Amino acid sequence: MMIKNAKIAWFFLLVLMIASSCNIQKRNYKAPIKEEGADYLLSQMKANQNHFETFSAKALASVTSNGKTNDIKLNIRIRKDSAIWVSISAGIGIEAARVLLTKDSVLFLNRLNKTFFVGNYHFINTMINAQVDFDIVQAILTGNDFTWYDYQELKATVVQDQYQLESAHRRKMKKYIRANDAVSQVIYQSLWLNPKSFKIEKLKIKEIKNDNKKIVAEYAHFKEIDSQVLPTQYKLSIFANDIIEIDATLIKVNLEKELSFPFNIPSKYTEIK
């Protein structure tokens, strides 16, 4: 009788082991992503981008450059296609700097050394040693694609568990080129898309003439906020003469709220030429 009961026990144990094994395989198994054409992926990406007139967020960030890491707080405000305002605080929360970007101007206020700058994007491009404009900065901060650039030589592939869209020569559309733009700027762009949401999870841009200069942005922890699905964790890497890495976590995001973009230059501040 004991032998019979032992055989029954071993039988049920074997069944449980097989069932558990099947469940484990089922959990770990991922169906292959269906290959899609570039036009389809582009249309899906555009359809699932975030749409807003105003965007505001507070973020905790760490900036690493030249082997040194500094923790900062960011207050970000955006009026779509019009203005980007960023207040940067360090330490106990005292504002260290303020930036206001428009389509063709850059205003920078350094409260630590009481200096200011008013000019164009050459100032930012010199600081980071890479070419950006308002559209690129806005896209990186919001997790969207560039608005004012065309698509040329668009290619679609599947990379592991993401779709990848590559455009070998993206140029700013002529109707959006402004007087002080780098008209000759041509960039290579690669986008990695989530196969279900078609949200951008990673982007890379680099200058065609210089492979050593590139910007990589990665997005994670997507959350639904005011009917929009937005990333709340960013990792931005700028590769130029030096490597600058910014890790940021958004702790408060609001859409479609009335925003102000204050930028007053104290009379005692010295202008940066």
- Stretch (H or E) spanning 141: helix 134-142
User: What are the residues facing 78 on neighbouring strands?
Assistant: 55, 84
Convert the pLDDT of each residue in 33-76 to its tens digit. 788 999 999 999 999 999 999 999 999 999 999 889 999 999 99
Domains of the chain: 38-256 (2.50.20.10)
C-alpha span between 66 and 201 (Å, rounded): 27
Q: Provide the 3-class DSSP secondary structure of residue 120.
A: coil
| Cβ neighbours of 188 (radius 10 Å) | 17
Handedness of CA 3, 5, 6, 11 (dihedral sign): positive
Q: Note the pTM of the prediction, 2 decimals.
A: 0.82
Convert the pLDDT of each residue in 165-216 to its tens digit. 999 878 777 666 666 564 456 788 999 999 999 999 999 998 777 667 899 9
